[in-house]
Amino acid sequence: MRSVHELLSLKGQVAIVTGGAAGIGLQMSYALGEAGANLVLASRKIERCEEVAQKMSGQLKAEVFPVQCDVAREEDVDNLFRSVMKKFGRVDILVNNSGATWGAPSLEFPMDGWRKVMETNVTGLWMMCQRAGKIMASQNYGRIINLASIVSFVGTMPEQMDSVVYTASKAAVAGLTKDLAAKWARHNITVNALAPGWFPSKMTDWSIREKGNAIKKSIPMQRFGGDDELKTAVLFLASPGASYCTGVILNVDGGWISV
């Protein structure tokens, strides 16, 4: 029987976190790095990744590798995996955290906003899963964690959130997660998702500032998520100890879905 320390250790593993240099992505990157994983921080803004990588390298006993990547661009995704394989020779963990949103009333929602969000949140995530899945299948080991959302399961009043495309995209993420879990289990790849509630970030800043009181009314804990409240959730799903968990969508939402 393995100890809890062994079950949660990521020592020697390689973890890619898209959008891993800011917001909840940074929180999750620290969780994996603190557990011993070498990190690949991928983002459209390479300067931010390089800045964060330098800081984290001085704090963690792991390598931190910044890579520029717009997940909606196939050539960027392919270049990311070429770079990671050249440097580390393996990919053990993928956290698909990059995301986009677009706010507008549903009856007037523009098609350019719809396409932009879908290309990043669904198509980009799928390309990342597929490329990582091929590598993980060849290793007979892998952990994929997608970022779904509480809105994967429920609608929201416009007074709380008005982005119909974000809701649709995150429902697609939940469905894709479950389907890949079933298809890739034979390769010893687990595919799970986190469904965060409201956490302060650049993406949620406007909504929390303008609609925060209305949002809190639907959260039984009556508060937003904290700066370390996703760490153990992502660590569990990424860990060797989660070997019998696949197709799971773990809510971290202050109780939103329970009411």
pTM of the model: 0.96
User: Considering only 11-20, 30-39, 68-77, 158-167, which range has the smallest mean pLDDT?
Assistant: 158-167
Say which CATH architecture domain 4-254 belongs to: 3-Layer(aba) Sandwich (3.40)
The tens digit of pLDDT for each residue in 54-84 reads 999 999 989 999 999 999 999 999 999 999 9
Mean pLDDT of 217-243: 95
Q: For 205-221, what is each residue's pLDDT tens digit?
A: 878 888 888 888 889 99
Rounded to the nearest integer, the mean pLDDT of the chain is: 95
Query: Rounded to whole angstroms, how far apart are CA atoms 175 and 148?
Result: 10
- Report which of 177, 203, 192 is spatially closest to residue 98, judged by C-alpha positions: 203
Answer yes or no: 166 catalytic: yes
The two three-digit tokens of residue 98, written as one number: 């990059």
Can you give the chain as a three-state secondary structure string? CCCHHHHHCCCCCEEEEECCCCHHHHHHHHHHHHCCCEEEEEECCHHHHHHHHHHHHCCCCCCEEEEECCCCCHHHHHHHHHHHHHHHCCCCEEEECCCCCCCCCHHHCCHHHHHHHHHHHHHHHHHHHHHHHHHHHHHCCEEEEEECCHHHCCCCCCCCCCCHHHHHHHHHHHHHHHHHHHHHHHHCEEEEEEEECCCCCCCCHHHHHHHHHHHHCCCCCCCCCCCCCCHHHHHHHHCHHHCCCCCCEEEECCCHHHC
Given a cut of 90, whether residue 160 has pLDDT beyond it is no
What distance in Å separates the CA atoms of residue 91 and residue 15, rounded to the nearest whole number? 6
Among candidate residues 30, 141, 166, 244, the one labeled active-site is 166
Q: How far apart are CA 79 and CA 221, in angstroms?
A: 42
The answer on pLDDT for 259 being more than 80 is no
